[in-house]
Structures are given as C-alpha cells and as structure tokens.
Structure 1
Amino acid sequence: MSRLTRPKSAQPSALKLQTLLDPQAAALQTVLLERVHLVAGFNPRFQGLTSEEQAALLTPEALGGLVASMQEVIPETGVPRGVIQPLLVRPLDAQTYGVIAGERRYRAAQLAGLTHVPVVIRAVTEREALALAIIENAQRQDTDQITQALAGFRLMSTVSGLSEDDLVKHLGALRRGQAEDTYQLETLLQRTYGTGVSTWSQQRAKVLALLPEERRAVQRGKLSAKSAFALLKLKDRPEERENLLQEMLQQETSPSAEEVHKEVSRRLAEERVLAPSPQIRLKALLPKLKRLDPQRSEEVDALLQRLERLLS
C-alpha cells in the first residue's frame, strides 16, 4: 500500500506531555489491514539512513522472521498466531488509519497474507503522532547512539516547536540554570531515554556536529561514536578530517577511540610545530627594515607603536 505524504504544518507551539505519555488515552481494536496506511516520515528508525539502506530493512528477506512468526499456527486453536504486538495508529478519516509505529509489522502482515491486524488507536494530531512514533521507537534495544540522538533531538524539537539550533541553546541554558524548563524536556527525556538535559546538552549534542558520512560510519558499525567525536577536534581542517575518516574506514579493524584521539592530537601538535611562532616571524623581518625607504619606514614605525600598545 502506498505511503501518504504528510503536509507541511505551520510553525508549531509546544505539545502537552500528558497527551504523549498517558497510556489511558488508547483503545485496542482489530481492524481490516486494508484500512491501515503508511504515512511517510514517521519511522524514526530510518533517520540518517539512505533510501537504499531503508529499503534493505523492508525486503521480504529482512522481514522473514516476522512473517514466519505471524504464520505460525497456535496448537490449541489451529489459528495462525498473527501480529503479536499491536500497531500504533491514529484515525486519518472515518474509515482509515495511519501507522504511527509498527511499519515492519505492517509490511510483514501483508506478506503473511493477514486480513486483520490488532491496533492501538490514538486520537492525536500529526505532530503528536510524530512524537509518539519517536517515543515508541526509543524502547528498542538495538538502536545505535547516532540514530537515538537524532531521533531524540527531533522529538524535543517536535514537542517544543524550537528549531534544532534554538533547542541546543535552550538545553545549554537549562543545564546552566539560566532558563526554566517550559517544555518539560527533563521529564520527557527521563521518561523516554532514562537520561536528562545535562547528558543531551553535553554529550548527545555532539552528534549534531558530526558530518553525514561520520554518522553513517557509526550507524553501520564501522566506527564507534567516541571515535567519531574525536574527529570534531579537526573541525577547522575539513580536508584532513575527511582523509582521516577514510583511512580509518579502510582498516581491517575499527580503531579504538583512544587511537583516534592520539592520531588527532599528533596531527594538531604537528601543525603547531610546523607553524613558526610570532617571535621567529618578527626576527626574520628585522633585516628587511634596513632596506625600507623613508615613507615606508614611517608606516612601519606606526605599526610598531601600535604593537607596543597592544603588548603593554
């Protein structure tokens, strides 16, 4: 079944946490599978992945285990087991539902030939649904640190209505005690990830500074998050940063974070050694002063007087 495109919404205001975290606001039903639709952009698991990598997670081969479990017959009843964990959906209209969480289960149900699926229905807005999708996905145990961090910042941005840049600034102000937690982000983070504002402001925010290829390397298991963070020290040397990343990816075994830190430190120290100090540069210029004409000598004298004032 084709995906439905999510319309762009206006600049949002903050969402209420009770709407997102209240399990009482749900109803369990069994509905026709054909009445359930996928909505583009609601799968946090795909964040940071290429379209090819996303497709690889949804092939019949990748879904084979889920399909087999759904087709397994329950001995006591002789009925196929079907979908064990309900899909989380919201009403799109009077007849259809949009998937908030459970895309792989939905696709597996199609492959298994199921006609009905169990669903938990949440009457929420599109923004609330997006936040719920991220919260639901946060319960997964196999989520890598990059995907989790990107999803977490998307969740906070969705809930607060703040842009990514403003959100990072707000988290920093909260950590320093310079702002009130108007959007209840501490509660949201603790309930969803078991960590608070301090961790997300100081550690998780580093993920946002990584280059896309660095994020993908971590997501693919080619590099640890700590190793990727070590490359941030080379932010002012993009070419060397890219070269070092490629060197690490070409190694048979992934370098440890300690090895990457040492290599980055070595390159930075090497640059400091190669760059002549101001004293050496001044000393090299002294012989040239004797060859200046009167007019340029006056200009140099003015510069020297300015230098003396700066150093005094």
Structure 2
Amino acid sequence: MPLSELHPFEGHPFKVLDDESMTETVESIRQMGVANPLIVRPGPDGGYEIISGHRRHHAAELAGLDIIPVIVRELDDDAAVIMMVDSNLQRENILPSERAKAYKMKMDALRHQGQRTDLTSPQVAAKFRADDEVGKGAGVSGDTVRRFVRLTNLIPEVLDMVDEKKIAFNPAVELSYLKPEEQRNFLEAMDYAQAAPSLSQAQRMKKKSQESGCTLDDMCSIMDEVKKDDLGQIAFRTSDLQKFFPKSYTPRQMSDTILRLLEQWQRRRQRDQQR
C-alpha cells in the first residue's frame, strides 16, 4: 500500500522519535525492506489508519520507500484502541506519560465495551473492572494501572518532568490530585527550592489542596524543608567511583580508601589553620 494512504492513529500516545534505534530501523529497512506488515483499518475520511507499525511507517518514509506491506482489519473504534495499545506496550523504554495515556485509552475502550455488554448481561458488566483487565494484559496489578492513569491529570509541564525523571513516579501520583493552577504554582515552588519533592512532601500538598487549597506560599514552605532521606546520608554510584580505583577493588575497599583520604585531608586542613 502507498505510504501516502496511511495516517497515524488518532490520539496515538506513543512518541515516534528520530533516535539511534530509529536510525538502525531505517538502515535495516533500506537493506531488507519491511519484514512485518503494518496493521491498519479503513479511515472514516478515506485512507487507512495505522493501528500497529507507526515506527516502521516513519522509518520507511526516512528510507525513501513509496509502498509498505499492510494487513487491513475491519475494526470498530474500541477494538482498534485495544489492539493499538496492546501492540505497543510490548516495546522497551516506554515513558511514564506514554504508559499512562495508553492505559487510560484501553480502560475507556473496555468500559465502553462493558456498557454495550450491560445492555444484554448486567451481571457480567457489574463484575467487570477495566483497570484490572488492563493490568492482566500488561502484567501488572489493577492498582498499578490506576496509579499510572492518575498521571494523565498532570499538566504537560509536570508530566514532562516525570518523563525526564526530574520528578519520581510516586510523588507525581500524589501531585496529580492538585488542581491545574496549583500544579503551575508547584513548578514555581520546585524552582524556588531547586529540588524535587519527596513522597511525603507531595502527600502534604495533596492533603492541603483537598482541605483548603494549597497556595504557592504553602508549597514553598513545604519544599523548603530538608528531606528526611537527605539527613546523614550521602550516596555515590559504584560506576562513578570505579574509574578512580583498580578494577579488583570491592565497594568496601573503595569506601575505606575514601574515608582514609578524607581523614588525611582533614588533618592537612587543621595544620593549615594552625599556621
């Protein structure tokens, strides 16, 4: 099928990036073509909507192909969403925002299917939980699905920071309960504190928001506190330290050597101060 006849799935939550993996895919397609056909369905306004194969489609464009193998499926909107999500959740390195949006799309589709089932079988619909069903397909619990879906309540700027690992997942779930304006204030408070929130800090902001509203001053006050985890602990990645030591050194040997060198440094400082 001509590439010009294909268009992305509406609301497709997975990013198609021109990264190293895409470069490798383009080179593979140039040499061997597209091995696995795309799965598509007829579009409501003509052409065909891609259900599975957005990366292959983009790589084929970059490789200069005009046509690409496809399998055409006749699917309604709900079935198409479910197939699109399931085919993409097998990918590696899925961003939290992608997983959150994909889980929500599949949950909404399953619930819609459940509503149709409810017309003929109320007992079946009553027992059906879309989040648990999504979890089964993804190999996670229904609670994990619900927590990821909470992230879709974050404003884009905060969600981007979760993807960039500037805000940890668990605090982000708590922040998702803040109103949009409160989330914008949170970004100011985070910039003021020059630190990411701990889970307990995010929980207090959530509680404050639900009780009486969380102001910028409230957030700055909470973010200005020293995190308990930061008291009395300094952590180094072993990989960062190994370049300074022989390969045979164990973490314990590296730790002992660092402490010994710090003691020597302290003694030198004390001597210099006494001069």
Taking structure 1 as the reference length, the TM-score comes to: 0.51
1:126 aligns with 2:95: no
Q: Which secondary structure does the structure 1 equivalent of 2:71 belong to?
A: strand
Is 1:187 equivalent to 2:156 in the alignment? no
- 1:124 is displaced (CA, Å) by 0.9
Q: Distance in 1 between matches of 2:177 and 2:12?
A: 32
Match in the other structure for 1:200: 145
For residues 58 and 161 of structure 1, do their structure 2 counterparts lie closer, same or farther at Cα, with a shift above 3 Å needed? Answer: farther
Residue 210 in structure 1 maps to residue 135 in structure 2: no
Residue of structure 1 equivalent to 2:33: 82
Sort the Cα spacing of 1:199 and 1:108 in 2 relative to 1 into closer, same or farther, 3 A.
Answer: closer
Matches of 1:67 and 1:269, distance apart in 2: 48
Two-structure CA RMSD over aligned residues (Å): 4.1
CA contact (8 A) 1:146 1:225 kept: no
Aligned to 1:43: 12
Q: Is the aligned partner of 1:112 residue 2:63?
A: yes
CA contact under 8 A between 2:192 and 2:220: conserved in structure 1? Answer: no
Q: Which amino acid aligns with 1:90?
A: R
108-117 or 33-42: bigger deviation: 33-42
Equivalent AA in structure 1 for residue 56 of structure 2: R
Counterpart position of 1:68: 27
Answer yes or no: is 1:143 the counterpart of 2:56. Answer: no
1:141 corresponds to which letter in structure 2? Answer: E
Hey, what's the Cα distance between the residues in 2 that align with 1:270 and 1:221?
23
Given that 1:89 and 1:121 are in contact with CA atoms closer than 8 Å, whether structure 2 keeps it comes out as: yes
Report how far residue 268 of structure 1 moved: 7.3
Q: Secondary structure at the match of 1:107?
A: helix
The residue that corresponds to 1:222 in the other structure is 166
Q: Contact between 2:29 and 2:63, CA under 8 Å: does it hold in 1?
A: yes
Question: Is this contact kept in 1: 2:97–2:151, CA < 8 A?
Answer: yes
Alpha-carbon displacement from aligned partner over 1:104-127 (angstroms, at most 9, x marks no partner): 211211221334433333221234
State the percentage of identical aligned residues.
23
- 1:104–1:186 Cα change, 3 Å: same
In 2, Cα distance between equivalents of 1:161 and 1:212: 26
Bigger Cα Rg: 1
Asked whether the equivalents of residues 217 and 223 of structure 1 are also in contact (C-alpha less than 8 Å), the reply is yes
- Contact preservation (8 Å) 1:36, 1:99: no
Number of residues paired by the alignment?
200
Q: Deviations over 1:54-102 (max 9, x none)?
A: 7xx259x88432211111xxxxxxxx31123331212449x95431121
Which AA in structure 2 matches 1:221?
A: K
Higher helix proportion: 2
Specify whether residues 232 and 68 from structure 1 end up closer, same or farther in structure 2 by C-alpha distance, changes over 3 A only: closer
Return closer, same or farther for 1:37/1:233 CA change in 2, 3 Å cut-off.
closer
Q: Deviations over 1:121-160 (max 9, x none)?
A: 3221234223321221211221122321222112111232
C-alpha distance in 2, partners of 1:243/1:137?
35
Deviation for aligned residue 1:45: 0.7
Determine if contact 1:100/1:129 at 8 Å carries over to the other structure.
yes
**2:9–2:51 Cα contact (<8 Å) kept:** no
- TM-score, length-scaled by structure 2: 0.57
CA distance in structure 2 between the aligned counterparts of 1:110 and 1:208, rounded to whole angstroms: 31
Amino acid at match of 2:33: G
**Counterpart Cα distance in 1 of 2:219 and 2:89:** 38
Task: Please tell me the residue identity of whatever aligns with 1:149.
Answer: A
The amino acid that maps onto 2:189 is L
In the TM superposition, residue 218 of structure 1 has moved relative to its aligned partner by 1.0
- Tell me, yes or no, if structure 1 residue 33 matches structure 2 residue 9: no
Task: Report the more deviating stretch, 105-114 or 116-125.
Answer: 116-125
Equivalent position to 1:257, from 198, 201, 206: 198
Partner of 2:257: none
